[in-house]
Amino acid sequence: MIHFLVTTLNLLKLSEVEPQASGLPEYIKIVEVGPRDGLQNEKMIVPTDTKIEFINQLSKTGLPAIEVTSFVSSKWVPQMADHKEVMSGIERHPGVQYPVLTPNLQGFHSAIAAGATEVSVFGAASESFSKMNINCSIEESMERFEEVTKSARNMNIPVRGYVSCALGCPYEGNVVPDKVAEVSKRLYSMGCYEISLGDTIGVGTPGSMKKMLEAVMKEIPLSALAVHCHDTYGQALANILTAIQMGVAVVDSSVAGLGGCPYAKGATGNVATEDVIYMLNGLGINTMHHFLKTTPTFMFLSAFLNALSLLIT
């Protein structure tokens, strides 16, 4: 389900940054995941040229990081089959990071050959989810990621780590916070500069977010943490607020809420980037103030996302 841009982005024009609330981070980094996490589950294949233009227009908004694509097998994720063409075709803007997902060493080398300068690995805090999602156990996934991080380190390529099912699993239900902390520590210890904690099916609440972060923060520096919230039950903004109140200063989001949760039919997916920015502005955190920098950018994003919504509904 897509969060329509025309109405929501117009609200940002009215949203001025308020005086900053005390005790909150001065700056929140937004990692835009729409082109990868947002599109990967859509059955309608988006043309390669359109994906490239989508990313190019996002680059003009002032976003500091845009996750471009995923170097996975086209057999498992057909939407990402054009990863090489997309990666090599985008315009790179100074100061913008363009990470790509690489599940194994083969994907890593393909990504580097296509011009990637930052990669991400995708682990899980649930054994069942790990086996269903990447066809291996948590331990086996860590062995794969060790190979990636070792090669990346030798090439001075930064690696970001994801931990899915940090607040719940579609197969196992509740996930113990200590397990999330354990997997996060493994990823951080092998060289991931940042660990993004994902509420993959959007079942988290501020209470469970707090407990999970408390466990992880015992093992990982606060400066190395990010949150990735889905909005299945309308809790994403509340969960993000809880995280930033605890000092987390990096938030993953997807423009217009692009992307759905494959485990909750009819539910919304990623938290919308513009909703996160609107909330942060209201808290006095001045981030992404150039989101509506150019009218052509706004018009393209509006047209693209509204057209996509008609195709998938």
The set of catalytic residues is 261
- Any idea what the Cα angle at residue 198 is, between residues 58 and 229, rounded to 5°? 60
User: Which amino acid, 127?
Assistant: E
**Adjacency order of strands within the sheet including 65-66:** 65-66, 29-32, 250-253, 225-229, 194-199, 159-164, 119-124, 100-101
Task: State which H helix or E strand residue 32 sits in.
Answer: strand 29-32
DSSP result, 64-89: SEE---B-S-TTT-GGGTTHHHHHHH
Is residue 31 left, alpha or beta, with left meaning phi > 0 and alpha meaning psi from -120 to 50? beta
- Cβ neighbours of 136 (radius 10 Å): 16
Sign of CA dihedral 234, 240, 242, 243: positive
DSSP assignment letter at 230 = B
Among 176, 212, 170, 172, which residue's Cα sits nearest to residue 195?
212
Instruction: Output Rg (C-alpha) for the chain, integer angstroms.
Output: 18
Residue 8 is encoded by which pair of tokens? 């929501």
* C-alpha–C-alpha distance, residues 224 and 213, integer Å: 12
Q: What are residue 123's DSSP bridge partners?
A: 163
Dihedral angle of Cα 101, 102, 107, 109, to the nearest 10 degrees: 100
**3-state secondary structure (DSSP) of residue 23:** coil
